[in-house]
Amino acid sequence: MANTIEDALPEEKRSLNFIESIIEEDLSVNKNDSRVHTRFPPEPNGYLHIGHAKSICLNFGMAEKYQGKCNLRFDDTNPEKEDTEYVDSIMEDVQWLGFQWDKEPYYASDYFEQLYDWAVLLIRKGLAYVDDQPQEVISQQRGTPTRPGTESPFRNRSIEENLDLFERMKNGEFPNGSRVLRAKIDMTSPNMHMRDPVMYRILHAEHHRTGDQWKIYPMYDYAHGQSDYLEGITHSLCTLEFEVHRPLYDWFLDQLIETSYRPRQIEFARLNLSYTVMSKRKLLELVKNKIVSGWDDPRMPTIAGLRRRGYTPASIRAFADRIGVAKRDNVIDVGLLEFSVREDLNKITNRVMAVIDPLRLVITNYPEGTTEWVELENNPEDPAGGTRQVPFGRELFIEKDDFMADPPHKYFRLAPGKEVRLKGAYVIHCENFDTDIHGNPATIYCTYDVDTKSGSGPKQPKVKGTLHWVEASQAIDAEVRLYDRLFMDEDPAGHKDRDPLEFLNPDSLKVLRGCKLEPALKSAKTGEKFQFQRIGYFCVDKDSQSEALVFNRTVSLKDNWAKVSAK
């Protein structure tokens, strides 16, 4: 097996990103006893995507690099949106990427009791109050970013009354939306999040873990920092939109905690990929509208989709490595992701013969009714890859693209009167061809020269082109699915007043049937990856059955001829 990509990038030669700088600074002053403890905190309300992969690689990566730990914590404070289906898929995806969290997965819901006690403490300190106003009124009183808010008439009620009301909220005495618990901070703060943020809302809902035990649920801002604290998190990495939440994150901890240990929130820029939408909401829309077959449709930027598409964990980790991490907005060329898979797949996949758009070819001077076996290398990139036997005979299939009746200049493939090498077999000479009723080539007639046999033949003429092929009588049929980007616009979600769905690529999936494969592929298993010689990287889809193979194209091979011929 070839080396992994990571081995090629010596760690010590790389400079630090801004998060590593912060960590090393903290380490140098022995902050938090020089521990490094991170966490990946997904809400179990959807599938993980490549943007999460960036965060996963970052969080687990930092822990790994500094001999620390990384927790997996489900941020499950909103029972209306969350489900165990997502919990399971998230655990699967994180592990598939090659990471293992510290101990068992954590849940914010494990801290509901503690969070409640702390809320009571805040009320006792006069720092939280129950507001009876409806949502619309509270929202109006909050003001706007440019105008300060106004205080709630309930802001200064007695601690006893607050305690009583809050307990009754917890006991389920009030209907949804009738009251909230708010932190008493500053309604005139220039930071909207400090204007008496809601800490608890009443929700009579079934929680995926606590069932109907709770009638009130903490808000993100109130739950997150304290959860970090309870787990001993030192560096709480999140995306940029939480930057303005940080003062609130710190405020709660400062009111509640007396020890010197403190988690620190650090924000980084989320990943954007060209020609891709990344928000869970939009991805969900694709699934719901049946534009894709599901969360794991190979065109989806979800981890599950990429996995089914044939991406390897190593390639995604290498990608995350290459894109780096910073605080400025960024759009990564989706080509970089493709580069990362090609790089990995080139090293690890076996080459096989597959003709996805078959054209019949007859070698007229090859003895009828006989076949022979030729030896082919499995993987030229891997010296230990070995060889295999592939049948060769009088009737073959070649790629339609590999023959032209009237070829342009610099076309190195087959054309009347021209010669090519059949990979691993013989040099053939094209004599003539038949056409079908539409005038398209139907059968190509060639002659071969026995002396040019690959490797052993006494004659080894220089020919410009080498074609892949499949012997007709033993070929097996398969379905091949060719994927292309889902959107034709570089930034489908970046247009005001235009729905990303307007930019859908109508050709994002092409299904090819009757593709011809060399017989060895008969036993290919779901998920198994190959390079179809001269075409691209493919893997066996889960829709495959033993007599009806289905392959997904992960990514095509880099194709210089396509570029040249397009000019």
Catalytic residue list: 43, 270, 280
Classify burial at 14, counting beta carbons within 10 Å of its beta carbon; exposed 0-12, middle 13-18, buried 19 or more. Answer: exposed
Q: Dihedrals φ, ψ of 399, to 5°? A: -75, 135
Q: Restricting to residues 536-565, name those near RNA by CB under 7 A.
A: 557-561, 563-564
Contact between 242 and RNA by CB under 7 A: the answer reads: yes
Q: Alpha-carbon distance 126 to 155, whole Å?
A: 10
Residue selected from 167, 243, 285, 528 as contacting RNA according to rule CB under 7 A? 243
Q: Restricting to residues 370-389, name those near RNA by CB under 7 A.
A: 379-381
Site track for RNA across 38-77, x = CB under 7 A: ---x-x-------------------------------x-x
Contact between 16 and RNA by CB under 7 A: the answer reads: yes
Q: Which run of H or of E encompasses 336? A: helix 334-348
Whether the Cβ atoms of residue 57 and residue 97 lie closer than 8 Å to each other: yes
Whether the Cβ atoms of residue 539 and residue 552 lie closer than 8 Å to each other: yes
Residue selected from 336, 405, 442, 450 as contacting RNA according to rule CB under 7 A? 336
Q: Alpha-carbon distance 494 to 498, whole Å?
A: 8
The minimum distance between CB 460 and RNA, in angstroms, equals 6
In order, the DSSP letters of 350-413 are: EEE-EESSEEEEEETTSPTT-EEEEEEES-TT-TT--EEEEEEESEEEEEGGGB-SSPPTT--S
| CA 455 to each of CA 416, 418, 428, 475: distance values in angstroms, whole numbers, following the listed order | 26, 21, 15, 24
Residue selected from 38, 78, 162, 554 as contacting RNA according to rule CB under 7 A? 78
Q: Which C-beta is closer to RNA: that of 223 or that of 475? A: 223
Site track for RNA across 469-508, x = CB under 7 A: ----------------------------------------
Residue selected from 121, 125, 134, 386 as contacting RNA according to rule CB under 7 A? 134
The minimum distance between CB 335 and RNA, in angstroms, equals 5
Whether the Cβ atoms of residue 241 and residue 268 lie closer than 8 Å to each other: no
Fill in the DSSP letter of residue 289.
T
Given the rule CB under 7 A, which of 29-37, 339-347, 477-485, 517-525 is the region that contacts RNA?
A: 339-347
Q: Restricting to residues 249-278, name those near RNA by CB under 7 A.
A: 269
Contact between 328 and RNA by CB under 7 A: the answer reads: yes
133: which 2 tokens? Answer: 């106003």
Q: Which C-beta is closer to RNA: that of 262 or that of 347? A: 347
Q: What's the one-letter identity of residue 50?
A: I
The minimum distance between CB 545 and RNA, in angstroms, equals 28
Q: Restricting to residues 393-432, name those near RNA by CB under 7 A.
A: 410-413, 421, 423-425
Residue selected from 72, 90, 128, 202 as contacting RNA according to rule CB under 7 A? 202
Contact between 509 and RNA by CB under 7 A: the answer reads: no
Q: Alpha-carbon distance 57 to 6, whole Å?
A: 13
The minimum distance between CB 98 and RNA, in angstroms, equals 21
The minimum distance between CB 110 and RNA, in angstroms, equals 14
Classify burial at 372, counting beta carbons within 10 Å of its beta carbon; exposed 0-12, middle 13-18, buried 19 or more. Answer: middle
